[in-house]
Structure 1
Amino acid sequence: MTLTGRLAFITGAGSGIGRSTCQILARDGALIVAADKNKRNADETINAISKEFKQEHISLELDVGNSSSIDEVLGKILAEYGKPPTIIVNSAGITRDNFILKLSEEDFDEVLKINLKGTFLIVQKCANAIIDHGINNASIINVGSISGKYGNIGQANYAASKAGVERLTRTASLELANKGIRLNSVLPGVILTPMTTVIPDKVKAKLMSMIPMRRFGEPEEIAEVIAFLAGDKSSYITGTSIEVTGGF
């Protein structure tokens, strides 16, 4: 197994892409720290993978938009394992969709806080912990969105946050490459997750017509790309973004 002995920290691990990432990384041998604002969902993720892969994984409650919450979680990880994670996956994210003319300031701020500021805080705090422990082989994968590249009607806040994630990833990769920390982003298209189940059927039909492969993606298909970026097979890849969109 290609990730045996590696400690992986996944945010937004309670559902969707985050949960699938936990499953795939555990399959490849990593020890999993599943973090989510909804602790029950994170527990469900860990219970499922622990039964399947017979390893000791843990789940933690985390608010990525809260600096103190991140500090607390990192403290628990260091106490449990004696080292920081060397695979970090920023999958936590929210939507608060509306047209620009109706989008509230509160909904704009909340999406930027979780999706962009949360990613920044996790990157900063985990990178400092990795450097402080003298580790020089780590991979941080940030989940962006194809909406961040092309925009999407009704998602000014979400698209802006994910565009920011991509540029944050690129900038951090330049600053941290000489520390042995690689950073890359994955840009999913329309993926079958709880976030997309609320899309109206008419909109789903329109989106489907724009996808050359004529189907929506599965969370596992994003997780497999994340697993590749987490391991040594991608050891010379940093600062890049990989689109996983079915050709969208």
Structure 2
Amino acid sequence: MDMQLKGRRALVTGGTRGIGKAVALEFARQGADVVICGTNPEKLEQVKQELINLGVRADAYVCDVADPVQAEATVKRAAEFLGSIDILANIAGISPKKEGGFKVPFYELTIEQWDRVIDVNLNSMFYFSKYAAPYMMEQKYGRIINISSVVGLTSSEHGPAAACYTTSKTGAIGLTRAMAYELAEYNITVNAVAPGRIQTDMSAANNSYYNDLHMKLIPMKRFGTPQEVADAFVFLASDKSNYITGDTINLTGGWFL
């Protein structure tokens, strides 16, 4: 089997569940050594063991990605364990919802909710990229892949995405483009992946209203899987995407058609 990431060293934020876990495991299947971070020690240990069972070197660190001090320490620790960092996958994210899985209108959001979502979903990408980039710049190689969303590309009714979540995912695309331009001369590519409805614990919190609405909006008439998102991350992390940077890949089942 041809491993697309053999010998590469990857750091994945939000690697204990959903898309983050799927990406971490697929990176490992493709031959990369992987460090994950998250907030749940038990889940971190569980996924770490799954990664090791795939035959790669792996470690897992408790980290609140919204804290720049913890982010810096996690990147440094990961680089020391791995030897450096070739791939950074910024995936950690949260999405507030009202009881019953409905959207929280922007005028009902608390300041604390707004700040927390922006910190976790967007600012963490800046922190981790800022601290990982010097390793990549020194070795003249790197891949940074940020998670966005269909709601970062449209203002339509695409589910219970509160304004803070939508803003964070739009910001992820802008940050991706800015970093891609500034890092291109160092042979570092920066891209984003914008999934639509994916079968995760986060989307499972939606209610039947959104499930039915989304199924009507998706021409392929099904929701995507975390594995399908992981495959896109592997492509962008591999040498098969050498000439792609500053771009956003949509995984929506044709939502925009």
TM band (smaller chain): over 0.9
Aligned with 1:195: secondary structure? helix
Equivalent position of 1:50 in the other structure: 52
**Counterpart residue number, 1:22:** 24
1:91 aligns with 91
Shift of 1:74: 2.1
**Counterparts of 2:194 and 2:76, CA distance in 1:** 30
Q: TM-score, normalised by structure 2?
A: 0.91
C-alpha offsets along residues 156-190 of structure 1, whole Å, 9 cap, x if unaligned? 11010100000000011001100121100000001
Q: 1:207 maps to which residue? A: 214
Matches within 5 A, 1:109-148: 109-131=115-137, 134-148=138-152
Q: Matched residues, percent identical?
A: 32
Alignment of 1:191-206 (within 5 A): 191-206=198-213
Q: How far 1:101 sits from its partner (Å)? A: 2.5
Q: Structure 1 residue runs of 4+, over 3 Å off?
A: none
State TM-score, norm by structure 1.
0.95
SS in 1 for 2:202: coil
Cα deviation for residue 152 of structure 1 reads 5.2
- CA distance in structure 2 between the aligned counterparts of 1:29 and 1:84, rounded to whole angstroms: 16
Separation in structure 2 between the aligned mates of residue 190 and residue 107 of structure 1, nearest angstrom: 23
Q: What is the number of equivalent residue pairs in this alignment? A: 244
The equivalent residue for 2:77 is 76
Counterpart contact for 1:16–1:193, Cα < 8 Å: yes
Aligned-CA RMSD value: 1.3
Query: Which AA in structure 2 matches 1:228?
Result: F
Give ranges in structure 2 of 5+ residues lacking alignment.
98-103
Contact 2:11–2:36 (CA under 8 A) maintained in structure 1: yes
* Gap runs ≥5 in structure 1: none
Letter in 2 for 1:41: K
Q: 1:247 pairs with 232, 245, 254, which one?
A: 254
SS at match of 1:196: helix
Please give the secondary structure, in 2, of the residue aligned with 1:139: strand
CA contact (8 A) 1:74 1:84 kept: no
2: distance between equivalents of 1:55 and 1:80?
13
The one-letter code sitting in structure 2 at the alignment partner of 1:36 is G
**Post-superposition offset of 1:45:** 1.4
